Structures are given as C-alpha cells and as structure tokens.
Chains A and B, each alone.
Chain A
C-alpha cells in the first residue's frame, strides 16, 4: 500500500509559490498548449528548444522545486529514450564516423527530435503534477469542460489505485506464504490466475461502489460539487509559458 501512496501523492510537491496558487485549469491548459508548441517547433531550431528549456526551468525555480526532485522524476522518460538511441544506427545515408561507429545524419536528428521534445513535455508535466494536488487537477479538468464522466473515471482510478494495489500485495503475500513464487515464463499460469482473480475482485468492488452511489441518489450523471470561479488574471500569467514557446516555434519556422 505504501508504494501506491508514493505513486500518486508522491507526485505532488507541497508549497505555496505563485505557481502552486495558479488555478489548476489554467495550469492544465498551459501545459497542454506548451507541449503542442514544443512539438510544432522544427527539430533543427536548437536555440528554440534551449529557450523552452530555460522557460520551464524558470517556472520550476519559481515553484521552488528542487532540481534533484525534478531530475529524479525525469527518469520515467528513460524507456522511451531507449528507442531514440537506435535511430542513428539504423537511419539512411549520409553517414559520418564517430568513435568507430557509423551514424546516420537524419537518424541523429530524429533521435534529437525525440529526446528534446520528449524531455520538454515530461518536464512540463512534472511541474504541473508537482504544483497541483490530484483533487485540484480533477477539479481543473472539470472546469475545462472535460465531460464529468471522464473526470469521474479518472477520479475513481486515483481513488482505487491504492486499494487494488493493496489487494494485489496481499494476494502476493498469500502466494509466497504457501511457497509459490513464480519468476519464470513457464510459471506464467500462476501470475495469470492471480491477475484474473484480481480482475474479478475489482469488478465486484465496482458493483458494490455502484450500489453505494445508487443509495445516495445517483441517477447516471455525476453531480456538480464545486462552484466555478473564473480567475481571469491568473489565466494571463499561466498562458505566458505556452505563448512564449509558440512565439519561438513561429520564429524558428519563419527563419528556416
């Protein structure tokens, strides 16, 4: 269960900075727009990516996020970068020799494209998650008019992740206690059986939750629980980030 806690609550870095205080919906919108602007930037415009990185670093500083915390979170990107590493080796000619390896030029650019854009996107998401508690994030999505059913499903996922992880942990301990510790591919049957019963248990819990919802007057539409307070001033501050990134992208295209 402890691992589950760290998984969701560990993303948030409590604080009281200007970034923390921005309304969640403005931060979500700014993050999404920033990612679009970064993706739209031509891959050869190295200066634009550097400027974007400086912007994000500035926001992280403003939010008093420790560099180590941000870098540690950045590790989630590693499996995706592994793919990028292959591109210079398998890309088409022209090629250059570096330290005895033949590297494709277009492969190198493709790899750089993935690394630069991926890292900037993940950095923006880290800053968003670190400065916004999950509950506010969900509220922000609702105020951005994401369908309430989708927000509710996301909320259920967050709510029950720990419960289901705890159940899986107890099943694992019960399995180990009876001397069964599947590690090899030919023991997959044991793992599959556990996954199956975990699914059935979660499904049954879903039914019980539904009964509890019906008992409190649920009729198929999630109710409105929060007042929508427009906060236009803070929107302007939040939009600065994606607006700058978009300006860099536009400049890079016109210069190219």
Chain B
C-alpha cells in the first residue's frame, strides 16, 4: 500500500480561481519525492491538502489506509508532518523545548514520555543542547532544524517540507540535507531548488497550473531541458544535464551526493 495516494484532487480558491486541477500522485513507503514547480503552480496548496488543512473541491487524499476526512484529522495530523517555509511561522512558543513538546503534548503525552520525545527529536537534528533557548535567538539554519524537530517529535509516517532551502546559506543547506537523508522517512520535498531535489530525491514530479505534468527519476526529469523550460524551471548555470544521467543511473534509485 502507498504511503500517500492523491487522486483527482481539485481545489478552487474562494474567488473561483482553480489552484489544483486534478492532481494524481502516489508516494510509496520509504520513498523520497520532490514536487517541483514554478511559483504559483499550486505546490503549497497541494501540501495543505495532505494533512487536511484545506478541504478538496473534488478528489481525495489517503494517508496509508486512512482517508483525509474530518473524523480522521487528529490521526492524519500525527501521521503527516509539515515543515513550513518560514520557521518563524512554525516556532511560536517561548522556548525550543516548548515548541518541540507542543505537537506530542497535543497527542496526549505528558511527563517523562513527553520529555523523551522532545530530546529524541532534537538529537536527530543535532539541536539537543539547545532546549532552553528562545527560537528568536537561534540562527536561521538552527531555526529550520528545530522546525524539523517539532514535527519529528510527533513520530510521523510522512514528512513534507515546503521550500526547505529558502533563505539558508550553503552550509546550513548541506547540514539540513545530511539530516534529512539520515531520517529514513517517507519524504515529500516541495521546491524549485532543482539541485537540492537531485541531492535528496530519487524521484521528481513537476506540478504546473494545478496538474502533475511530469513524473520520473529526478536525473531524467532535470535532463529534459525542454520540459523544464516549458514550466519555468531551470538548472543553475554550469549544471550539465547529461552529466546527471551518467552520474546517477535512475535504475539504482539510491541518492548519491553530487560531487
């Protein structure tokens, strides 16, 4: 069974504009998939459907065997962890500890088991020593890592990251990639940072104008210059798409760091 199944998903904004126009997407257990697309393609709207924040106009989302419906929301939100684009939106409590504890405490954890969750999650992102600090005293990269810890503390089945590299400096970007690769979680990375998609995700889909327009091994998708150009996506100057296919044969499905 797939970790997530999105079928025929449509969503209209209150003003009538169509944001999602029949999205079909299946993510297998343990898979890491990049959702690529230009600004305004509907990427964030898709993300907000995965944990039931937005309710589809048509179509459905299923997480594991559980449909995303009003009755299942509590369990869905435990299973689906979303890391939002701006860590200042995600870290709203006075200390790192309280922020990481917020999710599991909502699940009913108290006392020692709550503390264990908090420390385990912070250790996974290398922020175990920072429990007592205030989020606004952390660097941007540290805030991003704590934001990841806040959702890991809920022991999710699916990790969704919305533009994880925005505003990160190169070192913080690399550190975050290292952390994400170690987690071994089913992961959806929403981004227009194509090299990052290549580094993290063996498979990529392109979302444009509310539809999935391409789906395949990341190296193949990124090597198709025509496809990228048609959807306002571009590899950074100096990136040779032919090299990508040689360096990362799609058959292995294993992510190797780009050298």
Residue numbers of A with Cβ under 8 A of B are 5, 9, 134-135, 138, 155-156, 158-160, 162-163, 205, 208-209, 211-219, 223-225, 227
**With contact pairs A209-B89, A212-B89, A227-B111 given, residues A217 and B94 touching in the complex (Cβ less than 8 Å):** no
Which residues from B are CB-within-8-Å of A227?
110-111
Which residues from A are CB-within-8-Å of B106?
216-219, 223
Is B151 close to A, CB under 8 A? yes
Which residues from B are CB-within-8-Å of A205?
88-89
Is B135 close to A, CB under 8 A? yes
A216–B53 Cα gap in the complex (Å)? 11
Query: Can you list 9 A-B contacts with CB-CB less than 8 angstroms, sorted by A residue number?
Result: A9-B134, A134-B94, A134-B134, A159-B93, A162-B136, A214-B77, A215-B53, A216-B103, A216-B154
Return the CB mask of B92-134 against A: 1 if under 8 Å, else 0: 1111011001110111001100100000000000000000101
Specify which of B48, B88, B103, B136 is in contact with A211 (CB 8 Å cutoff): B48
Specify which of A135, A160, A162, A216 is in contact with B102 (CB 8 Å cutoff): A216
Q: How far is the CB of B122 from chain A (nearest CB, A)?
A: 14
Is B82 close to A, CB under 8 A? yes
Contact between A163 and B77 (Cβ–Cβ < 8 Å)?
no
Contact between B53 and A214 (Cβ–Cβ < 8 Å)?
yes
Contact between B94 and A158 (Cβ–Cβ < 8 Å)?
yes
Is B11 close to A, CB under 8 A? no
Residue of B nearest to A217 (CB): B106
Q: How far is the CB of A11 from chain B (nearest CB, A)?
A: 13
Which residues from B are CB-within-8-Å of A155?
93-94
A155–B93 Cα gap in the complex (Å)? 7
Which residues from A are CB-within-8-Å of B53?
211, 214-215
Which residues from B are CB-within-8-Å of A159?
91-94, 134-136
Which residues from A are CB-within-8-Å of B150?
216
Residue from B77, B93, B97, B111 with most neighbouring chain A CB atoms (10 Å) = B93
Is B51 close to A, CB under 8 A? yes
A155–B98 Cα gap in the complex (Å)? 11
Contact between A135 and B110 (Cβ–Cβ < 8 Å)?
no
Contact between B92 and A217 (Cβ–Cβ < 8 Å)?
no
Which residues from B are CB-within-8-Å of A212?
82, 84, 89-90, 92
Which residues from A are CB-within-8-Å of B102?
213, 216, 218, 223, 225
Is B43 close to A, CB under 8 A? no
Is B78 close to A, CB under 8 A? yes
**With contact pairs A134-B94, A215-B53 given, residues A224 and B105 touching in the complex (Cβ less than 8 Å):** yes
Number of B interface residues, CB 8 Å? 37
Residue from B86, B94, B105, B134 with most neighbouring chain A CB atoms (10 Å) = B94
Is B137 close to A, CB under 8 A? yes
Given pairs A135-B98, A212-B90, 4 additional interface contacts (CB within 8 A): A159-B93, A214-B77, A215-B77, A218-B102
Q: How far is the CB of B69 from chain A (nearest CB, A)?
A: 15
Q: How far is the CB of A5 from chain B (nearest CB, A)?
A: 8
A206–B137 Cα gap in the complex (Å)? 20
Q: How far is the CB of A198 from chain B (nearest CB, A)?
A: 15
Q: How far is the CB of A170 from chain B (nearest CB, A)?
A: 13
Which residues from B are CB-within-8-Å of A162?
136
Which residues from B are CB-within-8-Å of A224?
105, 110
**With contact pairs A159-B94, A225-B101 given, residues A215 and B51 touching in the complex (Cβ less than 8 Å):** yes
A41–B106 Cα gap in the complex (Å)? 46
Residue of A nearest to B89 (CB): A208
Residue of A nearest to B109 (CB): A223
Closest 9 CB pairs of A and B: A223-B105, A217-B106, A216-B103, A208-B89, A135-B94, A162-B136, A135-B95, A225-B101, A155-B94
A250–B116 Cα gap in the complex (Å)? 51
Contact between A217 and B93 (Cβ–Cβ < 8 Å)?
no
Residue of B nearest to A214 (CB): B53
Contact between B88 and A163 (Cβ–Cβ < 8 Å)?
yes
**With contact pairs A135-B98, A212-B84, A215-B82 given, residues A225 and B77 touching in the complex (Cβ less than 8 Å):** no
A223–B97 Cα gap in the complex (Å)? 13
Q: How far is the CB of A205 from chain B (nearest CB, A)?
A: 7
Which residues from B are CB-within-8-Å of A216?
77, 102-103, 106, 150-151, 154
Which residues from A are CB-within-8-Å of B137?
5, 9
Which residues from A are CB-within-8-Å of B111?
227
Is B256 close to A, CB under 8 A? no
A205–B91 Cα gap in the complex (Å)? 12
Q: How far is the CB of A139 from chain B (nearest CB, A)?
A: 9
Which residues from A are CB-within-8-Å of B254?
none
A215–B79 Cα gap in the complex (Å)? 10
